[in-house]
Copies of this chain bind each other. A is one copy, B any other.
Amino acid sequence: MTSFTEENYLKIIYLLTERHNGNEVSTNQLAEHTQTKAASVSDMLRKLAEKNYINYRKYQGVTLTDAGEQIALGVIRKHRLWEVFLVEKLGFGWDEIHDIAEQLEHIDSKELTKSLDDFLGNPKFDPHGDPIPDSKGKMPSVSYQKLSDIPLNQSVVMMGVSVHSPSFLQHLDKNQITLGCTLKIREISEFDKSYSILLDEKNTIFVSNEVARNLLVQMQES
């Protein structure tokens, strides 16, 4: 059996490892993301290592074993499916769903996950553009680029975000930046590196460098 808490640790280790391109996750990072103290994390890592869910060398950080990764992917799959449900069926905004999905992701029922997936039409991406692991526990690979790495005047499609905070998402809403919209960088300010962007070939909008770095985009039709 895997407890609620263990599932959370495994999920966070997966997501942080992914963010670090496969590099080990540190104790302090985990403490930050689990909202606990480093000492508590150390204890939990010992326990997860005993269960063979993580590769753990003291002081050297951790990565997931295959067993741990399967559990993490199952939780992430549920999280993202529920997020689709909340937005597509219940009408929530993409900025309102994270905390609810954090709870729903731990509901334990193979049949429920299967039925929910079918009910939603077997979606491949969640409302933030993140890929949904398949039922076999495989994470689809995606290759998005930061908008800030795209050259001037190259048309790209908005595919995802690398920050999920409500305030960031609400900021995008205000600027009418949604998944699937077209973006073309017109100019980068010499002064503050902020961006002037043509949105959907129609309106020009201005976004900070920080926004541009957290928008994930793709060249037309891939």
Interface of A is mostly: helix
Which residues of chain A from 82 to 112 have any CB-CB distance to chain B below 8 Å in the complex? 86, 89-92, 96, 99-100, 103-104, 107-109, 111-112
- A99 / chain B contacts, CB cutoff of 8 Å: 109
Which residues of chain A from 115 to 164 have any CB-CB distance to chain B below 8 Å in the complex? 115-116, 119
Which residues of chain A from 162 to 188 have any CB-CB distance to chain B below 8 Å in the complex? none
* A90 contacts B112, C-beta separation under 8 Å: yes
- A91 / chain B contacts, CB cutoff of 8 Å: 115
In the complex, which residue of chain B has the Cβ closest to the Cβ of A97? Answer: B112
Cα–Cα, bound, A146→B140 (Å):
54
A137 → B minimal CB distance (Å):
21
In the complex, which residue of chain B has the Cβ closest to the Cβ of A91? Answer: B115
Cα–Cα, bound, A119→B88 (Å):
11
Contact of A89 among B86, B107, B108, B119 (CB under 8 A): B119
* B119 contacts A96, C-beta separation under 8 Å: no
7 further interface pairs, Cβ-Cβ under 8 Å (given A96-B111, A100-B107, A104-B104): A89-B119, A90-B115, A99-B109, A100-B109, A100-B111, A103-B107, A103-B108
Could you give 18 example pairs across A and B, Cβ below 8 Å?
Answer: A86-B112, A86-B115, A89-B119, A90-B112, A90-B115, A90-B116, A90-B119, A92-B111, A92-B115, A96-B111, A99-B109, A100-B107, A100-B109, A100-B112, A103-B108, A103-B109, A104-B104, A104-B107
